[in-house]
């Protein structure tokens, strides 16, 4: 008999611990309903189950994708149904116009209806959308070698984009009005009647000087009154007082009547007065001048300032200058630079062709005065002039973006005038980020960006190709092609000169039915248009039927895979309950035996009595 080591108790404790662990696992499975709650429960089963789960969830999403595809097809097919109705009516009118019993005015009325129906075909093609995706206008934007995130860079024509990105202004625009002694009067010959009626025209509002004691806000001439307390200009002090009174009254009148200089929604008074000063206070008749700086209540660019005009022809003694200069001005002057930077991003992407090279040889990117040409011949990147050539052969998009960054860096250090508007630039992956702090002056300010894609026109107005993901795996794609369905593609659109137009150009006139012969030719053209629409609708209907079978297959596969995954992952509750009951009984027995084993050393006490 031993005291220090109770082997029987240790044995009972070991068995009890194992039983309690198994009981705990049974409780976990019973409470979760899952046979596998962690990888340790079944490592291989967990891996198989997760693969099945990805397939099950993919099948569920593929089913939704297929339903969306059917909705898209139904939207397009519904639009083409109306196009068919229009064509049938046009054919009916063409048959009517071919009848020799009609007079010229009768055919004119028929022609008017055919023209309007043609316009509607174009409208349907232009506006039929699903999730903002135009269905029957084709690939109207083509596939440019880079996308620009700024709406200021617009497509012009022939695969070319142009635009200017400008920084938002951070300072108000202003103009400096200089009032000198010629305004205030040099002698007692200047009387109130001589200053009365002088006018300023600022931002298309006319302000008129009034010297009467109690003037109305509007003068008899319909102008805004500028009240001046006029003194007889016998001294320099009187002249200064006259100038200050005139400047103060004009400033108050402008701010009270023009929101450009005092906007109630943004009440910031930027206009200031520099009171009239005597250049030599000891000598009468010395030069005197004051300044009124009229400034906009909000920040304005150079271009915005140019819209605020000023006309001093009614008071030629007052001069207008650009602030801080002696340069004459007739509009407000805005700051050419801003404390705020504006950025735009050019992201290079792939074209759907056999080659992955983007951009292609012959494409161009122009930033300010620097033109970057892409080529397949190894030439120097930048030679110090207004152009650079990049060898793109064998380079990926990231390398091309880095090469452009290098060219810009060299140009900025060697010939900064070429990229004057470019404040900073950087590359993030295959995206070129360009920033400027120059505001818009309507012509040269801001950052000028141009792109020319030599392959763009090859993809413009082609059929719209859509890839429908109708399976859980990457290769399970259905390709849907939607043809352009405008009047030009259908052969019914005519221009102003009567010639037939091509795809993508909206009609000015419909097919000609002005004579019996023209009407018979129109019937043939309309028949061909009906055939084209019928072919497109038939294709859409066939794909819709196919997708309905696809959805049935997806739901069946989803059900079967879910069942298989359930056999691996879900717990058999009856079996698990049996195991739990067994372990629960063993727990009770183990606890009783552990208690008995702990009592065995008590026998030692009997030997010690």
Q: What is the pLDDT of residues 132-174, one digit of tens each?
A: 888 887 765 555 788 888 878 887 777 888 888 999 999 999 9
pLDDT, residue 114, reads 94
Whether residue 214 is contained in a domain is answered as: yes
Would you list the DSSP string of 521-547?
A: HHHHHHHHHHHHHHHHHHHHHHHHHHH
User: Do residues 308 and 278 share a domain?
Assistant: yes
User: Do residues 364 and 325 share a domain?
Assistant: no
Whether residue 511 is contained in a domain is answered as: yes
User: Do residues 290 and 176 share a domain?
Assistant: yes
DSSP 359: S
Q: Which of 573, 609, 477 is nearest to 27 (CA)?
A: 573
Helix extents (H) in 178-299? 181-184, 192-195, 236-257
DSSP 453: -
User: Do residues 185 and 274 share a domain?
Assistant: yes
What's the distance, CA 343 to chain centroid? 13
**Torsional sign, CA 547, 552, 556, 561:** positive
Whether residue 575 is contained in a domain is answered as: no
- When the pLDDT of each residue in the chain is averaged and rounded to a whole number, the result is 85
Comparing 3 with 473, the larger pLDDT belongs to 473
Give the C-alpha separation, 321 to 125, whole Å: 55
Q: Mind listing the pLDDT tens digit for each residue in 493-514?
A: 888 888 888 776 788 899 999 8
Average pLDDT of span 573-596: 87
pLDDT, residue 1, reads 64
| Long-range contacts from 526-531, C-beta under 8 angstroms, 24+ separation | 526/87, 526/90, 526/91, 526/94, 526/492, 527/91, 528/490, 528/491, 529/87, 529/490, 529/491, 529/492, 530/84, 530/87, 530/88, 530/91
Whether residue 423 is contained in a domain is answered as: yes
Q: Mind listing the pLDDT tens digit for each residue in 329-368?
A: 999 999 889 999 999 999 887 444 334 457 888 899 999 9
Longest Cα–Cα distance of the chain, Å, equals 145
Whether residue 24 is contained in a domain is answered as: no
Of 550, 566, 582, the residue at which a domain comes to its end is: 550
User: Do residues 179 and 313 share a domain?
Assistant: yes
User: Do residues 191 and 308 share a domain?
Assistant: yes
Whether residue 10 is contained in a domain is answered as: no
What's the distance, CA 331 to chain centroid? 33
Domain that residue 535 falls in: 79-139+471-550
User: Do residues 451 and 366 share a domain?
Assistant: yes
CA distance from start to end of the chain: 16
Give the C-alpha separation, 146 to 551, whole Å: 37
Q: Which of 345, 365, 370, 372 is nearest to 432 (CA)?
A: 345
User: Do residues 218 and 326 share a domain?
Assistant: yes
Length of the chain: 609
Whether residue 73 is contained in a domain is answered as: no
Q: Would you say 276 and 288 are in contact if contact means Cβ atoms under 8 Å apart?
A: yes
User: Do residues 268 and 371 share a domain?
Assistant: no
User: Do residues 134 and 151 share a domain?
Assistant: no
Here the CATH number for the domain that contains residue 503 is 1.20.1330.10
Of 302, 334, 366, the residue at which a domain comes to its end is: 334
- Provide the number of structural domains found in the chain: 3
Q: Is 445 helix (H, G, I), strand (E, B) or coil?
A: coil
pLDDT, residue 408, reads 92
User: Do residues 427 and 489 share a domain?
Assistant: no
pLDDT, residue 188, reads 43
Give the C-alpha separation, 438 to 113, whole Å: 53
- The answer, yes or no, to whether residue 187 has pLDDT greater than 60, is no
Give the C-alpha separation, 484 to 312, whole Å: 59
Of 269, 303, 334, the residue at which a domain comes to its end is: 334
User: Do residues 247 and 304 share a domain?
Assistant: yes
Q: Would you say 176 and 450 are in contact if contact means Cβ atoms under 8 Å apart?
A: no
Whether residue 190 is contained in a domain is answered as: yes
Q: Would you say 102 and 95 are in contact if contact means Cβ atoms under 8 Å apart?
A: no
């Amino acid at each position: 008999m031993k005291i220090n080591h109770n082997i029987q108790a240790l044995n009972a404790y070991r068995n009890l611990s194992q039983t309690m662990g198994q009981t705990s696992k049974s409780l976990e499975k019973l409470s979760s309903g899952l046979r596998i709650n962690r990888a340790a429960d079944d490592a291989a089963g967990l891996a198989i189950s997760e693969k099945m789960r990805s397939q099950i969830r993919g099948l569920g999403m593929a089913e939704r994708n297929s339903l969306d595809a059917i909705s898209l097809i139904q939207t397009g097919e519904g639009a083409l149904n109306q196009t068919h109705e229009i064509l049938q009516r046009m054919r009916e009118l063409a048959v009517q116009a071919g009848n020799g019993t009609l007079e010229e005015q009768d055919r004119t009325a028929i022609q008017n209806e055919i023209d309007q129906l043609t316009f509607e075909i174009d409208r349907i093609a232009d506006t039929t959308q699903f999730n903002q995706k135009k269905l029957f206008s084709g690939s109207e934007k083509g596939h440019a070698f880079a996308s620009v995130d700024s709406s200021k860079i617009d497509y012009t024509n022939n695969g070319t984009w142009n635009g200017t990105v400008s920084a938002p202004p951070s300072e108000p625009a202003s103009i400096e009005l200089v009032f000198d002694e010629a305004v205030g009067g040099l002698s007692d010959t200047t009387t109130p009647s001589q200053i009365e009626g002088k006018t300023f025209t600022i931002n298309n509002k006319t302000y008129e000087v009034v010297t009467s004691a109690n003037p109305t806000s509007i003068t008899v001439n319909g102008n805004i009154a500028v009240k001046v307390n006029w003194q007889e200009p016998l001294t320099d002090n009187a002249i200064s007082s006259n100038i200050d009174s005139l400047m103060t009254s004009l400033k108050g009148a402008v701010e009270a009547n023009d929101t450009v200089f005092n906007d109630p929604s943004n009440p910031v008074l930027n206009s200031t007065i520099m009171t009239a000063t005597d250049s030599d206070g000891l000598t009468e008749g010395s030069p005197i001048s004051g300044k009124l700086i009229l400034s906009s209540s909000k920040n304005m660019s150079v271009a915005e300032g140019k819209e605020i005009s000023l006309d001093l022809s009614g008071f030629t003694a007052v001069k207008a200058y650009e602030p801080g200069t002696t340069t004459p001005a007739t509009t407000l002057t805005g700051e050419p630079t801003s404390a705020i930077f504006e950025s735009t991003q050019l992201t290079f992407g792939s074209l759907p062709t056999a080659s992955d090279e983007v951009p292609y040889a012959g494409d161009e990117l122009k930033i300010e005065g620097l033109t970057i040409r892409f080529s397949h011949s190894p030439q120097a990147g930048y030679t110090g002039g207004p152009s650079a050539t990049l060898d793109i052969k064998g380079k990926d998009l990231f390398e091309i973006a880095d090469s452009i960054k290098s060219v810009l860096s060299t140009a900025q250090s060697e010939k900064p005038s070429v990229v004057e508007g470019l404040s900073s630039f950087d590359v993030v992956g295959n995206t070129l980020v360009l920033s400027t702090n120059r505001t818009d002056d309507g012509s040269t300010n801001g950052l000028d960006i141009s792109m020319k894609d030599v392959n763009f026109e090859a993809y413009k107005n082609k059929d719209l190709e859509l890839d429908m993901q109708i399976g859980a795996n990457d290769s399970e794609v259905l390709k849907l092609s939607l043809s352009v369905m405008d009047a030009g593609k259908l052969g019914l659109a005519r221009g102003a000169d009567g010639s037939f137009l091509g795809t993508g150009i909206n009609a000015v006139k419909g097919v000609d039915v002005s004579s019996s012969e023209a009407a018979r030719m129109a019937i043939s053209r309309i028949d061909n248009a009906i055939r084209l629409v019928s072919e497109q609708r038939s294709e859409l209907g066939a794909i819709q039927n196919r997708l309905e079978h696809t959805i049935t297959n997806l739901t069946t596969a989803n059900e079967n895979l879910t069942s298989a995954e359930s056999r691996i992952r879900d717990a058999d509750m009856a079996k698990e309950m049996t195991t739990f009951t067994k372990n629960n009984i063993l727990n009770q027995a183990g606890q009783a035996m552990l208690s008995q084993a702990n009592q065995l050393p008590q026998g030692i006490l009997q030997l010690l009595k």
